Chain A
Amino acid sequence: MSKPLESLTGRAAVLLEDGIDTDVIFPARFLLRMEKEGLGECLFADRISKTTEDAAGAFSLERKDGEAVQILLAGAQFGCGSSREHAVWSLVDFGIRAVIAPSFGEIFSNNSARNGLAAICLDRDQVEYLAQESAVADLTVDLLAKTVTIQAGKTFAFDIGEGDRQALLNGWDEIDMIHAAHSDDVENFESGYRERRPWLFKDQA
C-alpha cells in the first residue's frame, strides 16, 4: 500500500538528459539491499557524487534555495534498461512523488504507479519550458484534473492510464484489489485453460 497522491505542489529538480537508465538511477552495487526503505541514499549515487549544481550540465538533487525536491523533470526514456524496482523505491524514499518526462522505460513506468510515484508524459518542449521556469517557481501536479501547472504560468494536460491513476489516487494494493475483483475470473479461466492446455497443469492432480 503506497501513500495516496491526489495532487502535489513543490520544487523540481532537472535532469533533461535522454536515456537515464535504471543503472544510473540506482547503481547495481546497491542491489544487494533487501529493503525498500532507506534506498534514497543510493539515488543517482554516481551522478551526484561527481557533479555540482554550478558546473555546466551538472545535476543535483539539492536545490540552491534549500527547498526539498518532490518532482523530477527528466529527458526521454527515463528509467529504461534494468527492471530493478529499486529505482522507483529510491526516488520515493528520497521524497520524489512525480517524474515528468517525454517518455519512460516501460517497466519503470509499470513499477511507478505501484509505489505511489507518478510517471507523467508531456511533450519535450513542455518539459523544457517547465525546466526553465522551475528554478524559481513551484510546480503543481494534479492527478484529479490530469494537469501540470507552473506557478503563475502555463498549465499542461497529460494522459495517464486509468488503472495507474486510480492506483496513485487511492494507494491501492494490487494484490488485494485484483483478488477482490477477479478471484472468480481466475478460477473460471483456469478450469477452461486446464482443458485446453493440460500439459501446463502437471503440478495439479
Chain B
Amino acid sequence: MTKAKTLYDKLWDDHVVAERGDGTTLLYVDRHLAHEVSTPQSFQTLRERGRQVRRPQTHIAVPDHAVSTQSRSDFSGEKQAQVQIAQLYKNADQFGIPLFRLNDPRQGIVHVIGPEQGFTLPGITLACGDSHTSTHGAFGALAFGIGASECATVMALQCLPQRRAKSMAINIDGPLDEWVSAKDVALAIIEKLGPGGASGYAVEYRGTTVSMMSMEARMTLCNMTIEAGARIGLVAPDQTTFDYVKGRPYAPQSEDFDIALEYWSTLASDSGAIFDRTVEIDARELVPYISWGTTPSEAAPITGSVPRLEDTADGSSRKRLEQVCEYMGLSPGQPLEEIAIDHVFIGSCTNGRIEDLRAAAKVAEGKSVAAGITAMVVPGSADVKRQAEAEGLDRIFIAAGYQWREAGCSMCVAINQDRLLPGQRCASTSNRNFEGRQGQGARTHLMSPAMAAAAAITGRLTDIRKLEEQA
C-alpha cells in the first residue's frame, strides 16, 4: 500500500521537475498572474538576460494595484501610476502575454479575476508577485506569492525552486452564526495561531464548516492564510468547486472538462494522511471579529476590548501593546464597540466579491452612512461590478451615501489616490492593518463586509448582531 498523502503532497508530487540536491525542488508552474506593480523589474530582467517567455498563454497581465477607481475612460490616475500601467501594456505586448487592459470587461484584482475566468483550476500550481496568491488555494490549487525575481524565473523557465513546507490541518466544524462570515473565521484563526504561527506550513482547511462554504467564502479564508505567515492555504475541491469552474472562459470545455474532473476528484487528503500540526476550531463558538492592533493577529471578538496592560505576559508584550495603542490612538482595556471611525472601505481581494457586496448591501439597505463618515465600495473586478449593478446593489449603496467605484485594489494597499490621512481610522474589509497600510499614519480595523456596513451606519465599530436586533 502506498503512503497516505495530504492534498499538499499530491499537488507537490505532480509538479516535481527535479530535485536540486540543495534542499530545494524544482517545481513546474502552470499559471502566472502579472500585475503592474510587481513585474516591471521582472520583465526588465528578461530583457537584460535576452530571455523569452516560455509559454506566454499560461500568463495573464492585468493592472489592479495602482489603478484609479474613479474612472475607466483613460489613465485618470497619478502620473507615475499611468507610466507603470503603460509599461505593463508594453511588456505584455513585447512578450506576447495575454493582457486585460484597464477598460477590459475582464479587468480586476488578480485574485478575483483568476477564479472568475477559470484561469485558476484545481490541481494546478499558480504563482503571482503578490502575497495574497494563497487565495487560489480555495480551488485545491498549489498557489503562492513570490517576489519579482521569481516572476522572471517563472516567465522564462516555467518553474521555480521551492522548499517543501510542513503541513497543517485546520479542522473547522459546525454551523456558523448568521452574522459570522469566513472573514471572522479567518481572523479568529489568525488570532489563535499568533503572528507567524503558520510560518513554514502549507495549511489545509477542512471540516463541515468549510464544506458548506461557497467558493467566495473559501477564497476569503485562503486569502488570509498569509496573515498567519503561511504562503499556502488549501481547500480540497468538491462539487461546489466543480460547479463554480464549469463553463468559465479559461476552464477546460466539454470532454476536456470531464477528463479534468476525473483527476480533480482525486484531489483530497487521503484518510490516514498525517499532518505535522492539527488545529481544531469549533465554528459554533465564533462571533464577529475585529482587529484592534497593527497585525491581523491582534484581533478580538467585537464584544471584547483592547487588551489591558496587566494582562500582558511579559515586558516586551507590554511594550508592544503600548506602541500599538499609541499608533492606533487607543487605550489599553478600551471596549472595541466604543471606537469611532472616519472611513469605511468595502472591497479588496479578501472581500471584494459579489457575495461580499451582497452581505454589505443587506446591512446598508434603507439605512444611511453616519454623518461625517466617508464610505466607499470598490468591487473586486469589473465583472463583480456589473453583477452587482444587475442586482441593484449599487443603488442600495449610493442611496445609503456610499461612493460606488471602479474595480481595483484601492484602499487595501493605498498605492493609488485612495488613501487615508494621518490619524484617520477606517473600518475595512481588507487584509492588513499594518502601520501605514492605508496611508501614512492611517489606522485600520479589519472586519467582515457586514460588520463594515454596520460601522458605516453608526460611525463606530459595531456588533452587527445588536444592530440587527434593534432594527
User: Which residues on A are within 8 Å of B, measured CB to CB?
Assistant: 17-19, 21, 23-24, 27-29, 31-36, 46, 57, 76-77, 80-85, 88-89, 103, 105-107, 110-111, 114-115, 161-163, 166, 173-176, 178-179, 181-182, 185-186, 189-190, 193, 196-200, 202-204
Contact = CB atoms under 8 A, between A and B. Distances in A.
B146 A161 contact: no
9 contacts: A23-B435, A31-B65, A32-B37, A107-B146, A114-B150, A161-B163, A179-B157, A182-B20, A198-B256
Nearest to B251: A199
What are the 10 tightest A-B residue pairs by CB atom distance, in nearest-first order?
A203-B57, A199-B252, A111-B147, A163-B22, A34-B40, A85-B147, A162-B22, A32-B80, A185-B18, A77-B196
A173 B49 contact: yes
Contacts of B66: 31-32
Nearest to B232: A106
B208 interface: no
Nearest to B130: A83
A204 B55 contact: yes
Interface string B294-309: 0100000000000000
A199 B26 contact: no
Contacts of B192: none
Nearest to A173: B49
A85 B434 contact: no
Contacts of A190: 28, 158
Interface residues of B, number: 80
Given A46-B435, A77-B196, A203-B58, A185 B37 contact: no
Interface in B240-290: 252, 256-257, 259-260, 263
B195 interface: yes
- Of B30, B130, B157, B200, which is in contact with the most chain A CB atoms at under 10 Å from its CB? B157
Given A186-B158, A199-B259, A162 B23 contact: yes
Contacts of B316: 18
B152 interface: yes
A36 B41 contact: yes
Interface string B28-55: 1010000001101100110001010001
Contact of A83 (B40, B80, B83, B147): B147
A106 B200 contact: yes
A193 B263 CA distance: 13
B196 A76 contact: yes
B371 interface: no
Contacts of A198: 256, 259
